[in-house]
Amino acid sequence: MAEEKNDDQILIRLPKSLKAQLEGAARVEGMTAQEWIRKAIQNRIGLLNVCPVCGTVNAGTAKFCNECGSSLKDSKRSMYFAWMKNVVKEELEEGGNLDAVLAYLDDPAGEQAKLEKKGKWVVRTEEK
C-alpha cells in the first residue's frame, strides 16, 4: 500500500485523563497515539451510512439517500448492523451469555478481530 501524503491536519485538544487513556489503549495495541486515533477514525467512518451509488453521507437512520434516492440497504452501516444482528443471534443460540453479547456491542472492532482469527465472516472496509 502506498503511503499517503498528509497535507491536512486537525488539532484535537483532550483533557489529560482522556489523553492518558488514549495513550494506554495505543500502547496495549502496540501503536502510537496518532496511529490509534487514525485507526479509530477509519473504523468510525467505515460505519457511516454512505450511499453505495453516489457516496453521500446520510443520517444513520435513513433508508434512502437524501441526494439520489437510492436504497441504503447495501451501505456499510446497514451491512454492519445485519452482521451484528446475526452475531448476537448466533451467540445466544449457541448458549452464549448476555456478557458475551454486550462485549460485541462495547467493542465491535475488537470482537471482529477475534472472530477473524477463528475464521468466521466479518465486515471489512475496502482500502483504496
pTM of the model: 0.47
Kind plus residue range of the DSSP H or E element containing 23 = helix 16-28
pLDDT digits (tens, 9 = 90+) for 59-87: 878 889 999 999 988 887 777 777 777 77
Q: Is 110 a residue whose pLDDT tops 60?
A: yes
The tens digit of pLDDT for each residue in 91-101 reads 677 666 667 66
User: Chain-centre distance of CA 50, in angstroms?
Assistant: 13
- Integer CA distances (angstroms), 20 to 10, 23, 26, 27, 44, in order: 19, 5, 10, 11, 21
Q: pLDDT tens digits for 37-53?
A: 888 887 777 677 888 88
For the chain, which residues make up each domain, given as ranges? Answer: 16-72
